[in-house]
Structure 1
Amino acid sequence: MMTTRRVVVGLLLFVLMAAGHVHGKQQKQPHIIFFLTDDLGWNAPSFHNNEIITPTLHHLHANGVELYSHYTYMFCSPTRASFLTGRFPYKHEMTNTNLLPPTRMLGLDLSYTTLADKLKQANYSTHHIGKWHLGMYKKEYTPRYRGFDTTFGFLTGGENHYTQRAFVSPPAVDLWDEEAPAYGMNGTWTGKMFTDAALDIIRNNAQLRNATGDAPPLFIYFALHDVHAPTQSPVRLAQLYNFTGDDAGLKSTFYGMISGVDEAVRNVTDALKAAGMWNDTLLVWTSDNGSPTMGSFNGGCKNVVPDSRGGACMCGSNYPLRGSKHTNFEGGVRTPTFVSGPVLPAHMRGKRLDGLMHVCDWYSTLCSVAGVDPADPGGIAPLDAIDMWPYISGAVSESPRDFIVHDHRMFTSNITGAIRKGDWKLFVDPDMKWANWFGFFAPNASVPDPPKETLQCPRESPCLFNIKKDMTEQHNVAKEHPLVVMEMLALFDSLNNEYHPPKDAAPTNSTAFYAYVNAHNGFLGPFMSPYAAPEDDGQQ
């Protein structure tokens, strides 16, 4: 079946050539490979934690530029929406529900011109691989209709890494190939399956270039599923580690997942080199949010072993940062990030940039790299992205960004959130959960149930941190800096006038969802779009 995908992708590239998708200036446009890792916290990979075996990421980081103050949203879907639209996450409706459950009738607003749409305008061949999580209840919300020439992956927010069963009950398989369920292709570790899809794209592009003397530049958005729960990795990767103790199985399996990320990046970069495309490549690697360190060791994590196909456990590490996924503390929103590849100017390699950057900025930044105007006046909310390429490439010494909206929630009368202005970070939230420091790896046998501390920062007494001086958010300095609090709170309140999504969550439709599943051999898909039953049976 993967052979069929190779043929389809190869034919598509020839069609793009015939349609004039390639133009004479394409050599000046780099291939853009964007890796978005899932739920990998600050204390990874090896350049932040030498326990972890990630030689490829380590090498690319050492020969690239680290973006040390790169921020995302505190959980999955809004980060992806922000990346593809250039808008701060709080302007997207998925901040309310994270598109859960998958029966929800919601998707990335169709008024937005996505980054993939923009790069197609610049004559790129655009490809999505892996996790989508931006809506699928109608086909218009799926990747092929949001600017991607090809797509192979899954549509919801998570699934079993081996069976591709989504997080729904009754069960349904979530594996999507172009515009239909990927019948017969499930049952393989996604780390290999998705990497193979990327290798097909690269090889077909090289074949087209060899056959015709020309081919479009590639944009590959590779949204890995590792290291999102369930905690599963091939035995061979877990066996790279020699931990002992009751939590050895959990830790070696989780670290094996991180090594699996490294393996995917290595195979892709090797393929680019073999195809003679690496010298024209810009590679970005990051994560969508911090690790979910609030799991229970005795409540499920203890049973994780390298050969397990279950692995129901939330674990990881954001050490030494405070907080976890689902929080606006640094541990939830500050992600390990670097830019590498020969397109990066040589004088920037090996450097660390401390200036602020938000995941929404990739929209304008990559448009700039591709040579296309990022303006998107038709979107329901105005663009927030800033072109960071002058900063990343060393043309300017200071980041053009000095303000980030981590969150600004107006779904109830109690407005909550967090903002960053320069060195200062303000929290307005009377009930900030998971406010503790979870340690080097959590949960573990010594601390089987990490404490669930709460920090109270109500509007009448918000919390203030100086992140430059106190990156781990140990000291609330609001009382020492009342004028700063006043200025930050005024800035926070000014956001009330900005676009916000509807207060009411989009409805769900389980009946339609499972009618689709039942009509498609147990596979899920766009359950509110007209469809016909498949002609052949699929593997479930």
Structure 2
Amino acid sequence: MKKYLSSIFIILSVPGFFLTESMAQSTKKPNIIIILVDDLGWGDVGYHGGNIPTPNIDRLAKQGIELNRFYTAAVCSPTRAGLLTGRYPDRFGLRKSVIPPWSDFGVSTDEVFLPELLKAAGYKNRAMLGKWHLGHVALKYHPLNRGFTHFYGHLNGAIDYFTHKREGELDWHNDYNSSYDVGYSTDLIADEAIKNIKSYQAQSPFFLYIAFNAPHGPLQAKAADLKRFGYDASKPVFANGGKEGYEGRGNTKQQTYAAMVNNLDENIGRILATLSNLKLDENTIVLFQSDNGPAPNEAGSSGILRGKKFTQWEGGVRVPAIIRWPNGFKGGWKSEQVTGFIDVLPTILAAAGVKQRPEKPLDGIDVLPVLQQKQSVINRNFFLGDGVLVNGEWKIFEKLEPNAGPKRASDLLYQIDKDSSEKNNVSAKYPDVFQDLKEKLAPFDAIKAPLEVAGFDVGKKGFVAPKEWKVAGFR
């Protein structure tokens, strides 16, 4: 008997023994990495049949779970806000517009952000890297006052990729300080992510929210990336609508955009390779998603889907999304669960074993049971804003949608599980379904926030940006 027990002890004590390593890994809280990209369309990734090479994103899709019915808001600030709060952005006045540089709006400090909840669960390091876009005029809106322990990136959207300026002033920061780092913003954000992973690994678990500004305009790519897509220096660069030119424009928008997306993919690959090399990938949740569909007139593709950014057509709000967590669930399959940006917070908290929830009720749901294949589907209605609701089978447009380009008729119903391109309005064929969904939509459309962000151009005239976008200057 002693000999038998001794043999077991020897086996279990061997360094790296598979059983003990797996058991140890399974008891640890997972590291969490959210990779949010900007204006990447459904048809811009290889695994959706896109023409731009995205081998690293495609590999992630094979390893993880394709979230085939993942929805966002139609523009970026609302998506970011909903992702970090688990609540529809309508509840705090941020659905129809982003937060422009001249706005004093910020997401209410009454809203609890994801990193605040992770802090209480033992996540010591919680970094926000890249594009913030949730408020910049007061320190109370700064990432370091919303639960993050580190911030590296820009407060506004649409910065110059090389100078890192917005409205003529440097918008690149390291915590509260200006950063004068030189380089292409996509590269710099990935560099910082890799640096943070290496630094934080000894104090796992950690949380990284990596919000790339690519491939959002202005369309700018590095010379080496442009050359891979046929750039010819002897030919002119694409016209910029009469505006002052930006560094990094290729011969065409399509060429420049492809170079940007390919560079983005390479940098995502660098981050994933770092996790693998450090043997952190098995117990790291990686969520990849776009914030909305591709911007009109900037070379992005919605693929088979109808519409683009600013609209509630599928191409504006249904985005490429993948989640991978080898220790938590099996990968290599495609989920048809209706899910989206508001579900990120409750699902991440459940995966991390975090019991605490905000006092205000969440709109998002925990979809972990579906990801773990313990439940086939969770039936739910998902509000897409402005009179639009979608569920597993149907999608209703109850009224005219502002900013949708060519006007469309109201009272639209699509059997969306069979008609993802939204070609056939079946409201006349299924009047009872339409009426039922209209009644379910009404409470969402009735949401009113005490304060709403003003229209994009309100306050623009005469605006002068603060020196290096110093937040303290607005106090």
Q: Cα–Cα, structure 1 residues 511 and 175, in superposed 2: closer, same or farther, change >3 Å?
A: farther
Q: How does 1:94-113 map to 2 (within 5 A)?
A: 94-100=94-100, 102-113=101-112
Identity of aligned residues (%): 27
Work out whether residues 93 and 453 of structure 2, in 8 Å CA contact, stay in contact via their aligned partners in 1.
no
Instruction: Find the counterpart in structure 2 of residue 260 from structure 1.
Output: 263
Q: How does 1:224-263 map to 2 (within 5 A)?
A: 224-242=212-230, 249-263=252-266
Work out whether residues 279 and 341 of structure 1, in 8 Å CA contact, stay in contact via their aligned partners in 2.
yes
Q: Cα–Cα, structure 1 residues 401 and 384, in superposed 2: closer, same or farther, change >3 Å?
A: farther
Structure 1 length-normalised TM: 0.76
Show structure 1 runs of 5+ residues with no match: 1-23, 210-214, 296-313, 409-416, 435-451, 531-540
Aligned: 1:53 with 2:53: yes
Give the length in aligned residue pairs.
Answer: 435
Structure 2 length-normalised TM: 0.85
Q: How does 1:448-527 map to 2 (within 5 A)?
A: 452-457=405-410, 462-502=411-451, 505=454, 514=464, 517=466, 522-526=467-471
Work out whether residues 44 and 300 of structure 2, in 8 Å CA contact, stay in contact via their aligned partners in 1.
no
- How far, CA to CA, are the matches of 1:336 and 1:149 in structure 2? 29
Work out whether residues 432 and 456 of structure 1, in 8 Å CA contact, stay in contact via their aligned partners in 2.
no
Q: Cα–Cα, structure 1 residues 511 and 469, in superposed 2: closer, same or farther, change >3 Å?
A: closer
- How far, CA to CA, are the matches of 1:401 and 1:512 in structure 2? 49
State the Cα deviation string for residues 479-514 of structure 1 (Å, max 9, x = none).
Answer: 111111211211222335545353673997779974
Instruction: Find the counterpart in structure 2 of residue 402 from structure 1.
Output: 380
Letter in 2 for 1:454: K
- How far, CA to CA, are the matches of 1:236 and 1:230 in structure 2? 18
Q: 1:349 aligns with which of 331, 351, 356?
A: 331
Deviation at 1:431, TM superposition (A): 5.2
Alignment partner of 1:239: what SS? helix
Aligned: 1:393 with 2:372: yes
- How far, CA to CA, are the matches of 1:29 and 1:422 in structure 2? 32
Q: Cα–Cα, structure 1 residues 144 and 430, in superposed 2: closer, same or farther, change >3 Å?
A: same
Q: Which has the higher contact order (CA 8 A, sep 6+)?
A: 2
Aligned: 1:218 with 2:206: yes
Instruction: Find the counterpart in structure 1 of residue 16 from structure 2.
Output: none
Instruction: Find the counterpart in structure 1 of residue 169 from structure 2.
Output: 172
Q: Cα–Cα, structure 1 residues 529 and 50, in superposed 2: closer, same or farther, change >3 Å?
A: closer
Aligned: 1:116 with 2:119: no
Instruction: Find the counterpart in structure 1 of residue 37 from structure 2.
Output: 37
Q: Cα–Cα, structure 1 residues 26 and 392, in superposed 2: closer, same or farther, change >3 Å?
A: closer
Work out whether residues 105 and 508 of structure 1, in 8 Å CA contact, stay in contact via their aligned partners in 2.
no
Deviation at 1:252, TM superposition (A): 2.1
Q: CA RMSD, aligned part only?
A: 2.6
- How far, CA to CA, are the matches of 2:426 and 2:461 in structure 1? 51
- How far, CA to CA, are the matches of 1:387 and 1:129 in structure 2? 25
Alignment partner of 1:157: what SS? coil
Instruction: Find the counterpart in structure 1 of residue 310 from structure 2.
Output: 326
Letter in 2 for 1:47: Y
Instruction: Find the counterpart in structure 2 of residue 536 from structure 1.
Output: none
Aligned: 1:336 with 2:320: yes
- How far, CA to CA, are the matches of 1:98 and 1:529 in structure 2? 19
Alignment partner of 1:429: what SS? coil
Letter in 1 for 2:413: L
Alignment partner of 1:202: what SS? helix
Deviation at 1:525, TM superposition (A): 3.0
